[in-house]
A = this chain, B = another copy of it.
Amino acid sequence: MIRVLLADDEHLIRGAVAALLGLEADLEVAAEVGRGDEVAAAVAAYDPDVAVLDIDMPGADGLTVAEELAAAGARCSICILTSFGRPGYLRRAMAAGVRGFVAKDAPTEELAAAIRKVHAGGRYLDAELAASAMAAGDNPLTAREREILRLIGAGTETARIAELLHLSEGTVRNYLSTAMSKLGESSRFAAVRAAQEMGWI
Contact = CB atoms under 8 A, between A and B. Distances in A.
Given A19-B22, A20-B16, A11 B108 contact: yes
A48 B153 CA distance: 43
A108 B189 contact: no
Interface in A1-41: 9-17, 19-20, 22-23
Copies of this protein, total? 2
A201 interface: no
B190 A12 contact: no
A10 B105 contact: yes
Given A155-B190, A189-B189, A108 B15 contact: yes
Contacts of A13: 13, 16-17, 104-105
A15 B13 CA distance: 11
A158 to B, nearest CB: 11
A13 B189 CA distance: 31
Contacts of A110: 12
Contacts of A11: 104-108
Interface string A100-112: 0011111110110
15 contacts: A10-B104, A11-B107, A12-B104, A12-B107, A12-B110, A12-B111, A13-B16, A13-B17, A14-B108, A15-B107, A16-B17, A16-B19, A19-B19, A19-B22, A155-B190
Given A10-B104, A12-B107, A13-B16, 11 more contacts: A10-B83, A10-B105, A11-B104, A12-B102, A12-B103, A12-B105, A12-B106, A12-B110, A16-B17, A19-B22, A19-B23
